[in-house]
Amino acid sequence: MMIKKKTLTVLLSAVVSSFMLVGCSSDSGEKSSASGEKEIQFMHLWPEGSSKKHYDVVNDIIADYEKENEGVKVDLEVLSNEQYKDKLRVLSTSKELPDVGLTWSAGFLEPYVGGNMFAPLDDVIESDLKDAFVPGTAEAYAIDDKTYGLPLELNIVSLYYNEKMFKDNNIEVPATYEELIEASKAFREKGIQPVALGNRDSWTGSMWYMYLADRIGGADTLNKAIDRSGSFEDPALVEAAKEVQNLVDNGVFVDGFNGLADEEAKSMFMSGQSPMYLIATWDLPNYTTNEDVPQEFRDSVKYMNFPTVKGQGDMSSFVGGPGVGLFVAEDSDVKEEAKDFAAYFVKEWGEKAVTEAGVIPATKVDAESLDLPQMYTDILNELNTASNITLFADVQMSPGVAQTHLDSIQALFGKEMTPEEFAKAHEDALSKQ
């Protein structure tokens, strides 16, 4: 008996202590392996499932880079958009950012730059990428005259519509804002919900508000209100907020838009339930090259620039701006290699993104020499002749104010806030910061 007890004790202790040991062992993330190979950690947000084309292009570029640069290995991590944002943030608090990753411009950058997390990339632009970018894109990643991101995408927002649905219902495609409302009423009469809008993700509603503000108040009014040289209580901006509610009152948007995610609204547009959808060029592949979308639908989708409002406004002024760009971590162990990789990536991306993924890169594109879908070429031309591109409001603003903006947009669309209260909420949030 005695022996048995003792064995049991020893056994139990062994189990317990092995448990403790597991808890103690830490993985000391080796960055360079034994052979002296350098490893660049790279994190992006185009998972194979939802962004197959982007995903493949990235892998191609990495494979090419590794071939050309003996002894450098790129260690890849892929997350979807929202998870990516969360993880980036958590990694930054523990100072373990990947060597190269994706960031958004302007307001999103601020805390990271303030916390000294991102490396300035002016030297890379100066030596490798001079004049490569569309004017204004790299600048969106600049804070205090230093550039912290190399832009990859450039987006403009257009109103896409299903031409076939207009024809089938004998409704004219609207050319002005007033006609847009009339067409919507006509669709309502036929039991069709006119504009797909997923305002649970309120950046979608923000784009409508921004365009109305642009058409009514001109290109600068909103920008000035955000940078504090103007005010949200500017009559044009209050008027724009009123027009938003006018659209709501006329049943322009789908039922229950405030409870729908953008994905749900998108599926209403893509399944031919709703004839119109305001979205940026990142969705362009769905209407041109994406083989998973039925050809018939892709053929019937057309786009228009956001119309003039009461005859006012410049139709070649756009809402949009650079999407994601590359950053290099300030405390990276392989900073030089990381910068080199980032520059290489931007150059390769500029070509491959156009032909293979069908997105519009932030680098200049020579549309003539490439075989591109017609709609792509058209939008590229719009972009090249654009009189102005206003950066998405929620990107322009710092995160706290952006949250107020997005919440107020939802309230404005839901008519829980008057246009005046909407203006005041912005003024309060902006003056507090």
Partner 1 sequence: MNKVMSNKLFIAFYIAPALLMITILIFIPLILSGYYGLMDWDGIGAKTFIGLENYIAGIQDKLFWNSALHSFLLAIFSTFSLAIYLLVSFILASKIKGSDFLRKIYLIPMLLSSVAIAQLWVKMYNPSNGMLNAFLNMIGIDNPPTWLANPSIVLYAIFIPILWQYAGFYILIYYAALKNIPESLIEAARIDGATPAQIALRIKLPLIKEVVSVTIVLAIVGSLKYFDLIYVMTAGGPNGASEVMASYMYKLAFSSYNFGYGSAIGFLLLVITLIVTFIIRKVTATKERIEY
Q: How many CB atoms lie within 10 A of CB 317?
A: 18
- Least distance in angstroms from the C-beta of 417 to partner 1: 8
- Least distance in angstroms from the C-beta of 241 to partner 1: 14
Q: How far apart are CA 303 and CA 320, in angstroms?
A: 15
Residue with tokens 């504090």: 228
Binding site for partner 1 (CB under 8 A): 5, 8-9, 12-13, 16, 19-20, 23, 86, 89, 92-93, 111-112, 114-117, 193, 199-200, 202, 254-261, 264, 268, 273, 398-400, 402-403, 407-408, 410-411, 414, 416-417
Integer-rounded Cα radius of gyration of the chain: 25
Q: Which is nearer to partner 1, 73 or 87 (CB)?
A: 87
- Least distance in angstroms from the C-beta of 298 to partner 1: 22
- Least distance in angstroms from the C-beta of 255 to partner 1: 4
What spatial distance separates the first Cα and last Cα of the chain, rounded to whole Å?
A: 74
Instruction: From 97, 140, 136, 94, select the one nearest 118 (Cα to Cα).
Output: 97
Q: Which is nearer to partner 1, 215 or 426 (CB)?
A: 426
Q: Which is nearer to partner 1, 58 or 417 (CB)?
A: 417
Q: Which is nearer to partner 1, 212 or 268 (CB)?
A: 268
- Least distance in angstroms from the C-beta of 84 to partner 1: 13
- Least distance in angstroms from the C-beta of 207 to partner 1: 17
Q: Which residues pair with 391 in a beta bridge?
A: 320
- Least distance in angstroms from the C-beta of 365 to partner 1: 34
Q: Which is nearer to partner 1, 116 or 384 (CB)?
A: 116
Task: List the structure tokens of 59.
Answer: 């892998």
Instruction: From 310, 265, 257, 309, select the one nearest 283 (Cα to Cα).
Output: 265
Residue 408 and residue 387 in contact, taking contact as beta carbons nearer than 8 Å: no
Q: Which is nearer to partner 1, 83 or 316 (CB)?
A: 83
Q: Which is nearer to partner 1, 65 or 84 (CB)?
A: 84
Q: Which is nearer to partner 1, 147 or 258 (CB)?
A: 258
- Least distance in angstroms from the C-beta of 309 to partner 1: 25
Q: How far apart are CA 392 and CA 321, in angstroms?
A: 7
Q: Which is nearer to partner 1, 208 or 257 (CB)?
A: 257
Query: Which phi and psi angles does 103 have, rounded to 5°?
Result: -135, 165
- Least distance in angstroms from the C-beta of 419 to partner 1: 15
- Least distance in angstroms from the C-beta of 118 to partner 1: 10
Q: Which is nearer to partner 1, 117 or 391 (CB)?
A: 117
Instruction: From 380, 381, 167, select the one nearest 284 (Cα to Cα).
Output: 380
